[in-house]
Amino acid sequence: MSADPVALLDGFCDAGERLAVLHELRYCHWSPSTVVRRHEERLVTSSSPARTSTTTDQWWFPPELLALTGRIESRLAERFAVEPDHLDPWQATRYEVGETFGLHHDAGHWVRSPAGERRRTVLIYLEEPDEGGGTEFPSLDLLVAPRAGRVAVWDNLRPDGRVDPFTRHIALPVLRGRKTVLTTWERVRPTCSRRESLP
Ligand SMILES: O=C(O)CCC(=O)C(=O)O
Ligand SMILES: [Fe+2]
**183 Cβ inside 6 Å of ligand 1:** yes
Confirm if 166 and 140 have CB atoms less than 8 A apart.
yes
pLDDT, one tens digit per residue, over 68-126 is 999 999 999 999 999 999 999 999 999 999 999 999 999 999 999 999 999 999 999 99
**135 Cβ inside 6 Å of ligand 1:** yes
pLDDT, one tens digit per residue, over 11-47 is 999 999 999 999 999 999 999 999 999 888 888 999 9
Confirm if 153 and 120 have CB atoms less than 8 A apart.
yes
Residue 79 φ/ψ, nearest 5 degrees: -85, -30
Confirm if 80 and 121 have CB atoms less than 8 A apart.
no
How much distance in Å is there from the Cα of 68 to the middle of ligand 2? 22
How much distance in Å is there from the Cα of 59 to the middle of ligand 2? 20
**171 Cβ inside 6 Å of ligand 1:** yes
The mean pLDDT of the chain is 95
Confirm if 156 and 119 have CB atoms less than 8 A apart.
yes
Pocket test for ligand 1, best of 110, 183, 184 (most atoms within 8 A of CB): 183
- Which amino acid, 3? A
Q: Which protein residues have a CB closer than 5 Å to ligand 2 (ion)?
A: 106
How much distance in Å is there from the Cα of 183 to the middle of ligand 2? 9
- This complex has an ipTM of 0.99
